[in-house]
Chain A
Amino acid sequence: RKEVEQDPGPFNVPEGATVAFNCTYSNSASQSFFWYRQDCRKEPKLLMSVYSSGNEDGRFTAQLNRASQYISLLIRDSKLSDSATYLCVVNPGAGSYQLTFGKGTKLSVIP
């Protein structure tokens, strides 16, 4: 089983749609969870950290289910500018500061 697994997509959605991405991780001791977005030929940028209680930032909602080792990202009212690759990222804990990246889910928002 891959350490961090995501559906690669692509997800092609119309403007205004709601889209959800899921991610599973294999290391049950993982401590921190993040969603990053990466535009083509650019560096990853932190979109949101994912807390145990779930968190919301404007149109974006992230949730964590530790029992199922599952992270989700919900984007409401999609904008053209949301088109990017979304990376599910996990810190394995145990004193490590390294991050483990999923391969990313590609989203294209269509006019």
Chain B
Amino acid sequence: GAVVSQHPSWVICKSGTSVKIECRSLDFQATTMFWYRQFPKQSLMLMATSNEGSKATYEQGVEKDKFLINHASLTLSTLTVTSAHPEDSSFYICSADKRGGYNEQFFGPGTRLTVL
């Protein structure tokens, strides 16, 4: 199998607070994980590529100081949304790359963030 978990599944927070989202690959090691954001009725947008033991690579327009990514082990990557604002409300999804095959990516169940 290829199971990816994500926690929390949803969070509601006040503007200005920071929110941490965890992404874990449960039955395989993931050298690379990806963080996406999806707004309603829009397609997935890649935010950053998280590499174990090194700095994340951010897509153009994504603020690295606002979206902190840490990939400290082969099974865990975290995304911290710092000083969240209402416009950060979105569906955040992580995926993990399962190497050795066709490079399929397997997605976590997502985290729905609502910033009041």
**Which residues of A are at the interface with B, using a C-beta cutoff of 8 A?**
31-32, 34, 41-46, 49, 51, 87, 91, 97-99, 101-104
Q: Which residues of A contact B46 (CB under 8 A)?
A: 98-99
Asked whether A43 lies within 8 Å of B107 as measured between CB atoms, the reply is: yes
What is the CA–CA distance of A46 and B3 in the complex, to the nearest angstrom?
12
In contact, A98 and B34 (Cβ under 8 angstroms): yes
Please indicate the chain B residues that have their CB under 8 angstroms from the CB of A31 in the complex: 103
Q: Which residues of A contact B106 (CB under 8 A)?
A: 46
Q: B: which residues have CB within 8 A of A?
A: 32, 34, 42-44, 46, 49, 91, 93, 95, 97, 102-110, 112
Task: Closest B residue to A34 by CB, please name it.
Answer: B104
- Smallest Cβ distance from A22 to chain B, in angstroms? 17
Contact status of A42 and B32, CB under 8 A, knowing A98-B46, A102-B43: no
Closest-by-CB residue of A relative to B112 is A41
Q: B103, A42: Cβ atoms under 8 Å?
A: no
Which of B103, B107, B112 makes the CB contact (< 8 A) with A91? Answer: B103
The smallest C-beta distance from B107 to any residue of chain A, in angstroms, reads: 4
Task: Report chain B residues within 8 Å CB of A46.
Answer: 104-106
